[in-house]
Structure 1
Amino acid sequence: MSTQTTSLATLKAPGIAAGITELIIHDLVHAFYTRVRNDEVLGPLFEAKIEDWPSHLEKMCAFWSSITLMSGRYKGRPMVAHANIPGIDRAHFGRWLVLFRETANEICAPAAALLFADRAERIAQSLQIGIALHRSQNTPEEDGQVK
């Protein structure tokens, strides 16, 4: 692969430059959701909503592959899925981000962990705004919560 081709691939798929692979995504997703399921804040919320954990984990691996490696594997609608979870709020997203960052820092090399954390923060912010709009509430920006 030429330098120009490598540069174009890296621009399109930021995970390549950070050393992210499908195996790393698998390990991160599985370790993270083990923590989620055991977490006293998030565990009950997820257990009430997810009936088929193997399928959910496969879907989350496809999601993160699409986000970091631009694989196009994910075909879901995360906004709709999250907006339909009763009781989900900023505290849940905050806890989700803490667990995700901790897991990424343990599983991944520093560059990959930073990329995952950056994308997770953006996704959490976007989902919170979408849920607030869906519920006709103030967005995090309107409440002064987003920095």
Structure 2
Amino acid sequence: MEDPAARRARIVESRRLETGIDEAMIDRLVRAFYGKVRLDPMLGPVFEARVDDWEHHFELLGRFWSSVTLGTGAYSGTPMSKHIGLPVDGRHFDRWLTLFGETAIEICPPAAARLFLERAMRIAESLELAIAGDLKVVLGKGERLNRPEFDTEPA
């Protein structure tokens, strides 16, 4: 039977070779993406209200994406609990995915961008469902969280 550490190392190396993803690429992606997020009129205020130390946030997110895409196990936090209670709905997740997708395509080779986007879509869906559940909103298949307090008045 293969040693778990050796198995992880083999999987990580295989994903690196298949996608070209490494920690330097992850760092470039995270910094470029959150540079856009911070300037975004919808997402910027949500993050600025909660992130005090952006450098620490970048390091944490680098470990998170290393774990999510490469399987490194570098991240050991609880992202779900950090997102419960955020003032967001499906529109925020759509915007997050749009910016993330644009940035991944700009920064990464196609195989890496595909893996990042696949994982980002799963993460966004899970977080949206968890936030809805915390609000006691049950979403059916294909339904999205819509919070009327975020509706804007027509011009």
TM over 0.5: yes
Question: Secondary structure of 1:72's partner?
Answer: coil
Structure 1 counterpart of 2:125? 125
Question: Secondary structure of 1:57's partner?
Answer: helix
Per-residue CA deviations over 1:50-103 (Å, capped at 9, x if unaligned) read: 111111111000000001111111121111111132x21111110000000000
Number of residue pairs the alignment of both structures matches = 139
Structure 2 counterpart of 1:47? 48
Contact 1:59–1:74 at 8 Å: present in 2 too? yes
Question: Secondary structure of 1:49's partner?
Answer: coil
- Structure 2 residues not aligned, in runs of 5+: 1-5, 146-155
Identity within the alignment, %: 45
Per-residue CA deviations over 1:88-128 (Å, capped at 9, x if unaligned) read: 11111100000000000000001100110010000000111
Structure 2 counterpart of 1:79? 80
- Structure 1 residues not aligned, in runs of 5+: none
Structure 1 counterpart of 2:93? 93
Distance 1:77 1:42, change over 3 A: same
Query: What TM-score, normalized to structure 1?
Result: 0.85
Larger of the two Rg values belongs to structure: 2
* Alignment-mate amino acid for residue 113 of structure 1: A
Structure 2 counterpart of 1:27? 28
- Alpha-carbon distance in 2 for matches of 1:80, 1:144: 22
Task: Calculate the aligned-residue CA RMSD, in Å.
Answer: 2.3
* Alignment-mate amino acid for residue 121 of structure 1: M
1:9 to partner: Cα distance: 3.0
* Alignment-mate amino acid for residue 115 of structure 1: L
- Alpha-carbon distance in 2 for matches of 1:130, 1:64: 20
1:19 to partner: Cα distance: 1.1
